[in-house]
Structure 1
Amino acid sequence: MGGGKTTRAACGGWICFEDEAGFTRRPPTGRTWGWRGITPVVKVNGRGSGRVSVAGLIAMRPGSRTRLCHRLRRHTGRKGERRSLSERDYIALVDGVHQLVKAPIVLVWDRLNTHVSHKMRDLIDARAWLTVFTLPAYAPELNAVEYLWAHVKHSLANLASVALGRLAALVCNRLKRLQYRPDVLDGFLAGTGLVIDLPPPSP
């Protein structure tokens, strides 16, 4: 938890799960239909490099519609270019969600080195409305966004080779569709098996 804040200060706020994923021009494989005895083949251009990094955040609060926000970066593979999202990228995502919901946020994420760096700790401490919890090590099943990435990657399975910009557009398209499907987002949350206990009403 960041800054010595208490969960009492976050009562009435939103619980947010965050995770990141990477997408490359080599698509994930998946099952498909084909002629018996003939294995379908997807041709992939091995030339070129690049990667699309996405940070996704699912925000929920009992009685409110579940929301999905994301932040995307394209990495072209140029020399000296950062190959992952930075602390500023993550905190910009959280700031955007805070502006959207206009309420305190309890953020739950994993122990990625960027999440627990001194720079990130200072950024968290500077935001009185933000309380952060880190998940136990090797517990992806407790993060609802892991189920989001599995869903998105399944929808991109066997995708023929595309330009990096096109790949980024496809990922954004899949995520924007899910923004209008709170029922699916609720399913990702239910997959964690976590139960939220609401505080008793004030006398």
Structure 2
Amino acid sequence: MPPPTSHTWGRRGSTPVIRVRGRSQRRFSIAALCCYTPGMQSRLIYRPKRHTDHKNGGRKSFAWTEYRDLLIAAHQQLGGSIVLVWDNLSVHKDRRMREFIDTHDWVVAYHLPPYAPDLNPVEGIWSVLRRTSQANTAFADPDDLIRRLRLGLRQIQYQSDAIDGCLTATGLTLTTSRLQPQ
């Protein structure tokens, strides 16, 4: 992975150069949920994954079962219903994923329009991650990369204002269709 660059400096007339090793064939994926509840602190729940067998025909991304497991873990952590607002990733629309969602009353899924990353709060999380813990960093090895990803995401987890800002940047608001007890 070429390192994301941020602000840098150099002597006038010379361009700073970041040297990195050759391109790696290793793949990493991260799935994340931005969790919002009116009146409570926002939460970020994530799972990184290192794909070790993708060169031999293995998966290059999360399988629907891994998204299912993430939803189950989020449901247990949050202790309540989940309303998903998902992009149109093919795994999100997988028949088995839809069957899982349809058979559990604690989860409901809505899909964003195609090509609408500006409506997805998780895209804001990736932007914050790239601009903070990943900026101007050349990773020594894949373990260093995954360690830094976890550290950066853990730091974002403790900043509920940053997670709220990712929702605010989309222009979406929290609403509830259920009647609130009075």
In the superposition, the TM-score normalised over structure 2's length comes to 0.91
2:160 is matched with 182
- Alpha-carbon distance, 1:202 to partner: 5.5
**Aligned partners of 1:174, 1:202: CA distance in 2, in Å?**
38
Give a deviation string over 1:63-103, Cα, whole Å, max 9, x none.
11100010111124431221111101111111111001111
Structure 1: give runs of 5+ residues left out of the alignment.
1-24
- Alpha-carbon distance, 1:47 to partner: 4.9
Residues 27 and 159 in structure 1, CA contact (< 8 A), matched pair in contact too: yes
The yes-or-no answer on 1:50 pairing with 2:26 is yes
Matches within 5 A, 1:1-16: none
1:81 to 24, 41, 58: 58
Secondary structure, in 3 states, of the residue corresponding to 2:32? strand
Q: 1:202 to 1:170 in 2, by over 3 A?
A: closer
- Alpha-carbon distance, 1:52 to partner: 1.4
2:88 is matched with 111
Matches within 5 A, 1:158-177: 158-177=136-155
Secondary structure, in 3 states, of the residue corresponding to 2:91? coil
**Aligned partners of 1:136, 1:163: CA distance in 2, in Å?**
37
**Aligned partners of 1:126, 1:31: CA distance in 2, in Å?**
49
Residues 43 and 161 in structure 1, CA contact (< 8 A), matched pair in contact too: no
- Alpha-carbon distance, 1:42 to partner: 0.9
Residues 167 and 173 in structure 2, CA contact (< 8 A), matched pair in contact too: no
Instruction: Read off the aligned partner of 2:148 and give its amino acid letter.
Output: L
Instruction: Read off the aligned partner of 1:172 and give its amino acid letter.
Output: R
- Alpha-carbon distance, 1:36 to partner: 1.5
The number of equivalent residue pairs is: 179
Give a deviation string over 1:84-140, Cα, whole Å, max 9, x none.
111011111111110011111101111111110112112212211110000011111
Residues 45 and 161 in structure 1, CA contact (< 8 A), matched pair in contact too: no
1:26 is matched with 2
**Aligned partners of 2:45, 2:95: CA distance in 1, in Å?**
25
**Aligned partners of 2:143, 2:180: CA distance in 1, in Å?**
50
1:8 is matched with none
2:130 to 150, 153, 158: 153
Matches within 5 A, 1:57-76: 57-76=33-52
Secondary structure, in 3 states, of the residue corresponding to 1:78? helix
1:15 is matched with none
**Aligned partners of 1:80, 1:202: CA distance in 2, in Å?**
52
Q: Which of 1 and 2 has higher RCO (CA within 8 Å, sep 6+)?
A: 1
Percent same amino acid at aligned positions?
A: 39
Q: 1:49 to 1:201 in 2, by over 3 A?
A: closer
* Higher relative helix content: 2
